[in-house]
Amino acid sequence: MAAMINGIAVALGIYAALVGGLYLMQRQLLYHPSQILPSPAQAGVAEMQTLRVTTVDGLTLAFWYRPAQPGQPTVVYFHGNGGNLAGRASKVRPYLDAGFGVVLAAYRGYGGNPGKPSESGLYADARAQLEFLSRQGVAAAQWVLYGESLGSGVAVQMAYEQALKDAPEPVGVVVLEAPFFSLSDTAQSHYPFVPARLLLRDRFDSGAKIKHVMAPVMIVHGSQDGVISQDQGKRLFQAALEPKQAHWIPGAGHINLYEYGVAAMVVDFVQKSLMAGF
């Protein structure tokens, strides 16, 4: 009996150490920045320029921007948890070619920018870059908030905040690529043996916010996504208000959706949505 009790105690100790380690290391597990940031020209978007904004907590971030052609919207691209904005240059090429403006949004701790990433930090970074757009005379109604994977949580938060302003001016369009319903759901699916929902410090609860977003929403998600299940995208789509559109792409994974013609789908949705005057 004593040996059994000792065995249980050892197992509980190991489990507690595992849970504690996951709690302490969770942001290292979530955020995977690359500090190597080439120039826009080296990344294949020579028409974009490197600009800087300062966040409310005093960090200066370098991001990339090309203004829109007359009468065209501006895509604000919030990338996922790995790499940095340079790795998305090829993905925004179709939007540049369509005449859209593009902001390749920067995050703290990524691409040589100062600071450490967190949910509240990424929101502060996004606000600073949207404030820059406002100063350029680009109205919220011309913003296309594009969120890729983790960036979907940032895009939904910015659209949510815009909708809750005292004099709300809804954003033009929200596009979500491989989004989660909430980060806590994703974490729990990856770590079913621990109480991940209770441990998370960064929750990105898009499902609770998207029902307040007063803008056309488009979601694209692959059937073979092994990082964020398509079921989460479908739950988020169900929670979103009309008008909305979804593309559930057979065979696509988490990072190869653009091989299935997603860029053309986005351009078409944006143009039709803005022409309809939503």
Q: Where are the domains of the chain?
A: 31-276
The CA–CA distances, whole Å, from 182 to 56, 85, 104, 185, 217 equal 26, 23, 23, 5, 17
Evaluated on CA atoms 226, 144, 90, 107, the torsion sign reads: negative
> Is-above-0.85 flag for pTM?
yes
Q: What does the pLDDT profile of the chain (278 residues) look like in tens digits?
A: 665 555 555 544 555 555 555 566 778 888 999 999 999 999 999 999 999 999 999 999 999 999 999 999 999 999 999 999 999 999 999 999 999 999 999 999 999 999 999 999 999 999 999 999 999 999 999 999 999 999 999 999 999 999 988 666 889 999 999 999 998 888 788 777 767 677 788 999 999 999 999 999 999 999 999 999 999 999 999 999 999 999 999 999 999 999 999 999 999 999 999 977 54
CATH code linked to domain 31-276: 3.40.50.1820
CA distance 268 to 238: 22
Strand order in the sheet with 143-148: 49-54, 60-66, 101-104, 74-78, 143-148, 173-177, 217-222, 244-249
